[in-house]
Chains A and B, each alone.
Chain A
C-alpha cells in the first residue's frame, strides 16, 4: 500500500435532538387493556412529557450509521501508543455475547454459574503463571482502578501492621502512568516522583534518596512510555523491600515482555494487567475494561472481596468471609465478559503463542523505529539511551516544529486526510517537545507499519513544501477542527442537550436567521 488521500463522508445532518417530527414513532405498541398510568404512584408520574425527538426506527438507525461514517473509528492502521491496539477476535466476541455470559444476573447464586466461575478461576491460574503472583482479582474496571486497588491493599496491609501512620509515602516516576500518583494521592499517601535521567529511567541513587521509613510502596511501569526497560529493576525492588515498602508493577506495558519476565521473580509484591488491551479484550470509548490485580499470599488477605475460589469438592464458590479485605473497588465480580474474552484469547494463543507475540511486538516496534528515525524532523526521547526499545516509544516532532512552525497537532490532523488516526501524543507532563507515542504491536503487518511511517514522512514533507496545507488540515474530514477551547470554558461547555440549548441560545438564534 502507498499513502493515498481518502475522503470521509459528510452528511450534514443536524443533531438527533433536532430531527424529530411530531407523531413519528419507532415502535407502535398496542393499547394496554388497563390504565397503565395508574400503575405508577401519583407522586412519581411525570407532569410533562420528556422532550425527546419523535422519530422512526429507520430514521434513527440511518442517522447513527451516518455518524459512524464520519469518524475514522480507529479502523485504519492505528499505531496508537500506550493502548496496545490489538485485534479482538470475533470468536472471543461471540463467546462474550453468549446468553450464559451476557444474561446472567449479578446476584445469581454461585451454584448456577459454575461454568463462569471455573473460567474466572482458570484465568486467575493463567495470570499467576505469567506473573508468579499467588492470587488475582478482577473487580477493578480498568488499569487505574487496579492501581487504586493497590493503594487500598497497601493501606490495609500497613494498617494491620500498625505502620500506616509512619508509612505515608508512595514513590513513583515522572513517566509512570499518571494513575499511579493519582491513586496514591486518592488513598491518602504523599507522592514522591523520580525524574528520568539520560538513559531513560530514574537512577538508583534517586530511589535510594527517596526511600525512608516513611515509604509505603513503589509504583512503577517497566518499560514506561519511553519504551526503555530498566535493567536494574531487581535491585530496585530489593531496595524497596529493605526499606520496608511494597513494590507494585504497573504492567500496562506488558506487551513487549509477555511470557519473558515474571513480576514476582523480579521482586514485586503485586502487579496489574490490562485485560482490555494486552489480553485482546476490546478497549476504547471508555467502555468496560478490567484491571486484573494480582499479589503475593502475604497481601492476599487484603484483596477486595469476594474472591472466586475452587472448593475441595471441585466446585467453585465466592469467598466473602475475608475479615481483612479492603472491601470493594467495584460492584460484584467486575466486568466478567472481558475476563471471558481474555481467557479465550489466552487459551487460543497458548503459552508459546503469548511469548511469540511479545517478540513480534518488540521486533515491530524496532522496525518502526528504524523507519521513523529516517524521517527528517523526527527526534527520539532519550537519544543517548542505547538499549532496544521494548514497547511504544516517545518520539517528538521538535525539529520539524523548529524548522516549519508545525508540530504534532497539525501533523496529526493532516495524517487523518490519509486515513490514519491522529497519533497518541503523550501523558503529562510533556518532557519531549511535540511528543507522539506510536506503538506497533504484534497485530500490525510490515505493510501496515510501512504505510503509517510513509504517511508521517509525507506530511512532514508537506509541512516544508506547503505549510499552509498542513496548518489548516484536515481537509478531507467532515469537520475541520474542533474548537479546543470550548470544552474548557464553563460558559460554553455543554454535556447535555439542555445545557447546550441554554448556553448556546444566542448562537442558535443567529444561525436560524
Chain B
C-alpha cells in the first residue's frame, strides 16, 4: 500500500486576512492573534485530504493540529510521528525528517512558502512533496491551485497516474515586504507530482513538452554563443539547463557568468557583474517565474537597475517553455527592478525563445 505523509502548519495564512503579508516568526503570529486572526490551515488541509478517503492510503501524520486533527476531520486513519518538544518551523522540520525515515511515498503539507522551505530543507529531492495552499505567500511552484486540487493530484500520484517534475521553491523576505519592498529568493528545487493532462489523442499529436523543447534549446543556445562575449545566466531550472549544456553544474539559485564556453564566475553579486561588464560585451539570459510571469525582481535582484542599464534591453534574452507562457493569465510578463522609470523602459513586447527556432511574443507590462 502507498504511504502518505501529512504535515499541517496550523498557523499558516493567519497573517494574511489581517494584512500582515505572512506569519513568519512568533512576534508576527502574536500580532496576528491580537488582530483577531483565526486559524484556517487545518480546515483547508482536511478539504484536501477528504479527496483521498476513497483510496484509504496508509497515513503518517504530524501530531495534533499539525496533521493528526486534519486527518481525523477528513476521515483518514493515521499513525502519528514523534516530533518531541519542537514547535513552529522546528516541528515541521522534525516531522518531515520522521516521514523521510518512515518511508512515505508522498509528503503532502499545508502551509505557505515558509512551510515549503522547511519541508524542502529536510527532504530535498529525496521525496516528492505537494503543497496544499493555506499560507499567505505562495510563490513556490510546489502548491496545487486549491486544496481540493491538491487532494486530487495526491490521489492521482498514489494511484500511479501522475509523474513528478521539478518545481521551484521561492520565498519573499517578509521584513522587506512589510517595508514595501518585494524581494524574492529561490530556495531550491523539489520533486512535485504533476497530474498528466489527459490529452485527446488521435486528432492532433501532442505538442513538444516544455522539458524536451528547453533541453534542445539549451544545447542550441550554447552553439550560438559568441567568443569574447559574457553570458550572464540567471536563476532557476530553465537557466540550469543552459549551464549544464555548457558543461558546469551551475548555481541553481544564483547568477553564473560564462565566457568562451566556460564558467567564468559562479553565483555573482551585482558588484561583480558591474566589474565584469567593464571588460567585455555581455548578454543576460533570463527565465520566467511560472504562474506570476516575473522576468526581473523575483529571485534575481543581482540584475540591478545599474546592471540592466549597462546591458540594455536589446541584450536581454528570455527563455521559457511555451506551455508555461500559455498558462500565464493574462498573457504578459512583469518586471520589478526597483526603479519605476526603468520598468517603464523595459515595458513592451519581447520575443521569448521557447524551443530551437521557436519564439513567442509577450508583452512586458508597464
Contact = CB atoms under 8 A, between A and B. Distances in A.
Main SS of chain A's interface residues?
loop
Given A190-B359, A193-B358, A487 B322 contact: no
Contacts of B198: 407, 409, 484
A424 B325 CA distance: 23
A192 B361 contact: yes
30 contacts: A178-B204, A178-B207, A185-B358, A190-B357, A190-B358, A190-B359, A191-B359, A193-B358, A193-B360, A193-B361, A194-B361, A195-B326, A196-B331, A203-B363, A205-B348, A205-B363, A206-B349, A209-B348, A209-B349, A209-B351, A209-B361, A210-B351, A405-B148, A425-B200, A428-B206, A428-B207, A429-B207, A430-B197, A431-B326, A487-B201
B359 A429 contact: no
A210 B201 contact: no
B358 A181 contact: yes
B89 to A, nearest CB: 31
Contacts of B331: 195-197
B45 to A, nearest CB: 16
Interface string B197-236: 1111101101100000000000000000000000000000
Contact of B148 (A189, A208, A402, A424): A402
A198 interface: yes
B180 to A, nearest CB: 29
Nearest to B362: A195
A148 to B, nearest CB: 15
Interface residues of B, number: 33
Interface in A367-401: none
A310 interface: no
Contacts of B199: 425, 428
A174 interface: yes
Contacts of A428: 199, 204, 206-207
A218 B328 CA distance: 24
5 smallest CB-CB distances across A and B, nearest first, come from A209-B349, A428-B207, A195-B331, A429-B326, A193-B360
Given A195-B325, A409-B198, A427 B204 contact: yes
A174 B326 CA distance: 8
Interface string A157-188: 00000000000000000100010010001000
Nearest to B325: A195
Interface string B336-366: 0000000000001111001001111111000
Interface string B174-209: 000000000000000000000001111101101100
B32 to A, nearest CB: 28
B144 to A, nearest CB: 12
Contacts of B206: 428
A402 B152 CA distance: 11
Contacts of B270: none
Contact of B200 (A192, A196, A424): A424
A403 to B, nearest CB: 8
B146 interface: yes
B357 A206 contact: no
A193 B354 contact: yes
Nearest to B326: A429
Nearest to A191: B358
B51 interface: yes
B330 A405 contact: no
Contacts of A425: 199-200
Contacts of A82: 203
B315 interface: no
Most buried by B among A178, A190, A428: A428
B360 A195 contact: yes
A197 B330 CA distance: 7
B259 to A, nearest CB: 27
B87 interface: no
A407 B197 CA distance: 11
Contacts of A426: 200
A192 B349 contact: no
Contact of B323 (A196, A205, A429): A429
A436 to B, nearest CB: 10
Contacts of B325: 195
Nearest to B205: A178
Contacts of B197: 430
A185 B357 contact: yes
Contact of B361 (A210, A429, A431, A484): A210
Contacts of B201: 484, 487
A192 B152 contact: no
A193 B199 CA distance: 22
A193 B322 contact: yes
A85 to B, nearest CB: 13
A285 B172 CA distance: 53
A428 B326 CA distance: 10
Nearest to A384: B330
Contacts of B360: 174, 192-195
Contacts of A203: 363
B363 A206 contact: yes
Contacts of A198: 330
Contacts of A427: 204
Contacts of A191: 357-359
A14 to B, nearest CB: 24
A194 B357 CA distance: 15
B203 A424 contact: yes
A210 B331 CA distance: 16
Most buried by A among B148, B204, B207, B363: B204
Given A174-B326, A424-B203, A425-B200, A206 B361 contact: yes
Interface in A397-433: 402, 405, 407, 409, 424-431
Nearest to B203: A424
Nearest to B155: A405
